[in-house]
């Protein structure tokens, strides 16, 4: 699934030393927030297309997105 790959990146960036069972809600929150941020840049794209773009993001791109 597209979202799963993005969530794995988010976990590696923000919750690397925490087990999935202990951080899955936090990852889901970050994922929802990241989709909301990305939708502002990809207004003409569907959610599927937005997720395809997010998969291409590097770790630094994701960090930068949250800082804006």
| DSSP notation for 4-65 | HHHHHHHHHHH-TTS-HHHHHHHHHHHHHHHHHHHHHH-TTS-HHHHHHHHHH--HHHHHHH
Q: What is the pLDDT along the chain (68 residues), one digit of tens a residue?
A: 889 999 999 999 999 999 999 999 999 999 999 999 999 999 999 999 999 999 999 999 999 999 97
Domain boundaries, the chain: 2-67
> Considering only CA atoms, which of 49, 57, 44, 46 is closest in space to residue 30?
57
């Amino acid at each position: 699934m597209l979202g799963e790959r993005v969530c794995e990146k988010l976990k590696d960036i923000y919750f690397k030393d925490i087990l999935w069972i202990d951080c899955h809600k936090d990852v889901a929150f970050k994922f929802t927030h990241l989709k909301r941020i990305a939708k502002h840049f990809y207004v003409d794209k569907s959610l599927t297309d937005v997720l395809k773009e997010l998969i291409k993001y590097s770790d630094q791109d994701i960090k930068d997105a949250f800082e804006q």
